[in-house]
Structure 1
Amino acid sequence: MSDVEGHVLHGLLEETSGDIVIRIDRHGFIIHASANIAELGFDFAGALLLPHITDLAARDHAAYLGEHVAAVLAGRPQTGWAEFPVNESAGCNSSSSGHCARWYALSLRPMCDSRGIADGAMCLMRSVQQVRSLEGELHARAVTDPLTGLANRQAFCATLRRHLAHGGGQMIAVFAVDSMRALMMRYGQRTADEVLWGFAKFLETMALSGHELAQLDGERFAVLLPEMTSRSAREWCEDVVATFAGLASPASNHARSKGTHLTASAGLARVECTVDWTLREAELGLVLARAGGGRQVAVAGHRRAA
C-alpha cells in the first residue's frame, strides 16, 4: 500500500469508527481490510489466496454486489450504497440458533494511479442491521392487525393478487362470529375485542398447513384454502363452525339466559376474476349463511362479472 493510500485509509478509519474499511484491487480482490472485519467472522491473516469482495456477501446477493463493484471499477459511478446480508458461514455466531442475516451497506471510491487509470477502490462497509430491523418492524405493523396479530385486509388482498396472477382457482372462506354487533352493544367494546381475539386464535388452531389467515375488518376473518377442492373446503369450514359452537356452548350457559350464544358462520368462494370479485362472492356467501340463522356455511351462486 502506498503512503497516499495509507493516509486515506487512516483518515477514513478516524472518521468512521465502527465501520469497516476495505481496499480492493482493479479486479475486486481484497488487498487490505481494517481489523474490525473480524467481527464478521473473516480472518484474512492466514488466507493463501486473496478473497474477493463478493465473498463477503450471502450467496444469493453475491452477483448483485459483484455487478455494483464492477460498475464502479469500470468508471460508472453508482448512486447510493449497495446493501446485502453478509456471508452466513462466516457471519453467524456458532452459539446462535436459527437463521442469521446481518445486513451491511457498501460504498466505493475509485482509486487511480499516477496516470489516472483506475487501480482499485477504497470501500466503506457499514452495518444497516438496525435500519433493516426497523423497516421490517414497520412493514409488519403495516400489514398486521394490532388486535389479533393476523394479516390485515391489505396484506390478504396482496396475497390474492399474487394467486390471481398465476391463474387463481383456490378456495377462500370468510368467517364471522354471529351477532357480534349485538354483543358489542350489550357488553361493550372490550368484551367484543376479547371474543374477536379468541376467535382468531381458534382459527389459527383449526387452520391446516398452507392455510393463510387474515382479519378483513372488525368482525370478518378470511382464510385462503390452497390445495382444497370446493367440497373439502366446505367440509373444513363446517367443522370449524361446529367445533366453535361446541367449544363456546359450555361457557355460555349463563349467557343463554340473556339471549347470547356464540356461534360463527362462513361464506365460501373461489379465487377468480379480481380480488374485489372474489371477496364479494365470499362475503355474499357469509350473508346467506347468516340469513339462514347463523352457524352455517354457504356458497354464493356462481355468477360471472359482466
Structure 2
Amino acid sequence: MSGLDGRVLHGLLEEVSGDIVLRLDQRGFILDASANVAELGLDPGATLLLPHITDLAAADHAALVGAHVSTGLAGQSQSGWIEFPVIACDERDTCGETRCQRWYALSLRPMRDAAGAIEGALCLMRSVQQVRSLEGELHARAVTDPLTGLANRQAFCASLRRHLAKGGGQMVAVLAVDGLRALQLRYGQRAADDVTWGFAKFLETMALPGHELAQLDGERFGVLLPDLPARAARDWADEVVQTFSALAAPVSAKAPQLTASAGLARVACTVDWTLHEAELGLVMARAGGGRRVAVAGNRRAA
C-alpha cells in the first residue's frame, strides 16, 4: 500500500467511523496512524523509535495484545476483536491512574505484498469505553442495595463462596434492628427506611478495615469479619449492639425505643448453612429480649 493510498484510506475511515487506524510492520511496530491517535497521548512521528502496538495497552494487558497481533501477523485465524485498556494521557509511561484508562477494541487484518507474503497489518481501534462504563454501572446496580448503598445478598453470598473455596473459618455476623416491622406498621414505610438507612451508616462507621458489609434483606444486615477470632468477633458485635442502643435512646416517652441484636456463625460447609447458623443466632438473641448477641449452638446470649 502506498503512502498516499494509506493516508486516503486512513482519512476515510477516520471521518466515517471515528476509529483509530494503525498500520503495522511485520513485527508489530506502528508505521503510520490516523490523526486521532493523539487522543491516546501518542504521536508516532515525534518519537525517535517506532512505538510497538503493545505500547498502547496498559501493562497488565500488553501480553494479550501482543499475542493477538502476533497471531494475525503469522497469518493464523483470530477470534475477531479483543478489548483492552489504554493509558490515554501524556504521562502514559508512568501513569497508573484508573481515571486515565480508556477501553478500546482492536481488530487486525494482515497486508500482503505482491508475492502473497505478509508485510504488515492494518488495525482498527474502536472505543468501547461507554459500553464498559455501562456494563460496570449495571453490574454495580445488580450487586448493590438501592436504599443503603451496601452490597446486596447476592454479592455477600458470592463473597462467602470465595472464602469457602479457600477453606472458610472466618466469622460472620447477621444484625438487625429489633422491632423494625412493628415500627413500620406504626409509623409507615418511610420511617422504616430511614431507620434502615441510618443503621447501615452506623454499621459502616463501626466496621473495621477488611470487614465486608451487606444488606441481606429489608431487615437484616450481614458483616463478614475475616480477621477476627470468635471471641473478638463477639466483642465487636456486642459493642455494635450496645453502642447503637445507646445512640438510639428515645428523647421522649412517646418516641420508639430502638435496639439491635446480632447472631454469629463461622463460615463453613455451605453458604446457606453459614447464613442459617448466623440467622439462627439472631433469632436466639431476639428471643432473649433483644439487644443481645448469640451464637447458634451456644445457648448463652451476651
TM surpasses 0.5: yes
Q: Which residue is 1:11 aligned to?
A: 12
Say yes or no: does 1:297 pair with 2:296: no
Distance change (3 Å), C-alpha of 1:126 and 1:225? same
Partner of 2:167: 167
1:147-226 aligned at under 5 Å gives the runs 147-226=147-226
Query: Displacement of 1:104 after TM fit?
Result: 1.1
Equivalent pairs counted in the alignment come to 296
Aligned partner letter, 1:299: V
User: Is the 2:216–2:222 contact (alpha carbons within 8 Å) kept by the matching residues of 1?
Assistant: yes
Within 5 Å, which residues of 2 pair with 1:249-264? Answer: 249-251=249-251, 253-255=253-255, 260-264=256-260
Bigger mean CA deviation after superposition, 174-183 or 40-49: 40-49
**Partner of residue 279, structure 1:** 275
Name 1:113's counterpart in structure 2. Answer: 113
Q: 1:180 to 1:297 in 2, by over 3 A?
A: same
Segment drifting more, 116-125 vs 227-236: 116-125
**Residue correspondence of structure 1 range 236-251 to structure 2 within 5 A:** 236-251=236-251
Whether the 8 Å CA contact 2:81–2:107 is kept in 1: the answer is: yes
Q: Which amino acid aligns with 1:282?
A: A
Farther off after superposition, 121-130 or 2-11: 2-11
- CA positional deviation for 1:101: 1.6
Q: Any stretches of 5+ residues in structure 2 without a counterpart?
A: none
Q: RMSD between aligned alpha carbons?
A: 2.1
Once the two structures are TM-superposed, the CA of residue 80 in structure 1 deviates from its matched residue by 3.3
Report if the CA contact (8 A) 1:21-1:33 is conserved.
Answer: yes
- Tell me the CA shift for residue 254 of structure 1: 2.6
Partners in 1 of 2:224 and 2:117 — Cα distance? Answer: 59
1:155 alignment partner AA: A
Q: Distance in 1 between matches of 2:19 and 2:97?
A: 26
Letter of the aligned partner of 2:9 in structure 1?
V
* Match in the other structure for 1:56: 56
Distance (Å, rounded) in 2 between the aligned partners of 1:51 and 1:125: 16
Q: CA deviation at 1:121?
A: 0.9
Query: Counterpart amino acid of 2:77?
Result: P
Give 2:129's aligned residue.
129
CA distance in 2, matches of 1:76, 1:159: 40
Post-superposition Cα deviations, 1:131-180, rounded to whole Å, max 9, x if no partner, equal 11111000000000000000000000000011111111110000010011
Cα deviation, 1:75-100, whole Å, max 9, x if unaligned, reads: 223233211111366476x9x98743
Distance 1:91 1:63 in 2: 21
Establish whether residue 26 from structure 1 lines up as the match of residue 26 from structure 2. yes
Q: Structure 1: which 5+ residue stretches go unaligned?
A: none
The letter for the 1-side match of 2:20 is: I
8 Å contact 1:267–1:284 — kept in the other structure? yes
Superposed CA deviations along residues 26-78 of structure 1, whole A, max 9, x for unmatched, are 11110001111111111222211111100000000000111111111122232
Contact 2:30 2:53 in 1 (8 A): yes
Query: Does structure 2 retain, via aligned residues, the 8 Å contact 1:290–1:296?
Result: yes
Q: 1:151 to 1:91 in 2, by over 3 A?
A: farther
Contact residue 84 and residue 104 of structure 2 kept, 8 A: yes
CA spacing shift, 1:4–1:181, aligned 2, 3 Å: same
What SS class does the counterpart of residue 173 from structure 2 fall into?
strand
Find the residue that maps to 1:266 and give its secondary structure.
strand
TM normalised by structure 2 equals: 0.93
SS of alignment partner, residue 106 of structure 2: strand
What is the distance in 2 between the residues matched to 1:134 and 1:98?
16
Cα distance in structure 1, aligned partners of 2:230 and 2:84: 43
Label 1:191 to 1:216 Cα distance change in 2 as closer, same or farther (>3 A). same
Say whether the 8 Å CA contact 2:40–2:89 is kept in structure 1. no
Could you tell me whether the CA contact under 8 Å between 2:41 and 2:88 is conserved in 1?
Answer: no
- TM-score using structure 1 length: 0.91
